[in-house]
Amino acid sequence: MRKGLFLMALVVAGMAQAQTFDRVFVFLNVNPNKPVLAEDSVQRLMDLHFKNMASLGTQGKLINAGPFEGGGGLFVLNTASVDTARQWLYTDPAVKAGRWKIEMFPFTTTEGGNCVVGADYEMVSYLFVRYKASNEIANFKANVNAEKEVSTDALISRLKSNGDLIMAGYFDSNEGGILVLKEASGMEVINQSELAQSGSITFESKTLWIAKGSFCEE
């Protein structure tokens, strides 16, 4: 049990480094139960979706956006309030029509950042990794305060030293966090880590397409 608490602390201890969350991270997950619509209706919704994205970006509300291979995507919204983020998000007709299952989390970055990219940009692909506590230790979340000095720094430092890491950050309320890697080879480092080997933390990866510079990378 002690080891389980220690490993859980590795994920959540970064919260000791900063107490404020300056963004809301939005997952637009594939919705297998989305309403069945005619192809032309879907296209109209998607046209309105992209038009709304442009509007949110012009207003300074949408910082980053990009699709995942296989469906779905992400937004980073320029607010720390989930309620405000929800109001902005549901100006999108495609979101209101249930095209995706929505998750929203207050978010802060610990490595890299979230930068606005101009109209002239290049789309690039990165490996997007989401991590969170497995059910095995979910009941111990309230007991890890004494372990907060231990962090994910070792894993992140290794990814940085290998040149794999683009961005890292975490969510509020012990909901885990994300890593953005240059290439899929960076996943080998994660899979060989104690966090992954223990099974106490789960890592899910997928390919993300996004404008180069969105994570303040060169």
Are 106 and 26 a contacting pair, CB within 8 Å?
no
The whole model's pTM is what? 0.85
Burial group, residue 192, by CB count within 10 angstroms (0-12, 13-18, 19+): exposed
Q: Which domains does the chain have, with CATH numbers?
A: 2-211 (3.30.70.1060)
Model confidence band, residue 20 (pLDDT cutoffs 50, 70, 90)? confident
What does 99-112 look like in DSSP terms, one character per residue? SEEEEEEEEEEEES
pLDDT of residue 118: 84
Are 74 and 66 a contacting pair, CB within 8 Å?
yes
What would the pLDDT profile of 131-152 be if each residue is shown by its tens digit? 988 765 554 454 443 333 345 7
Specify the pairing of strand 100-111 against strand 123-133. Answer: unpaired
Can you tell me the mean pLDDT for 22-44? 97
Can you tell me the mean pLDDT for 43-68? 97
What would the pLDDT profile of 160-169 be if each residue is shown by its tens digit? 999 999 999 9
Distance CA 102, CA 108 (A): 19
What would the pLDDT profile of 153-190 be if each residue is shown by its tens digit? 788 899 999 999 999 999 998 789 999 999 999 999 99
Distance CA 218, CA 200 (A): 34
- What does the mean pLDDT of the chain come to? 86
pLDDT of residue 136: 53
Can you tell me the mean pLDDT for 90-101? 97
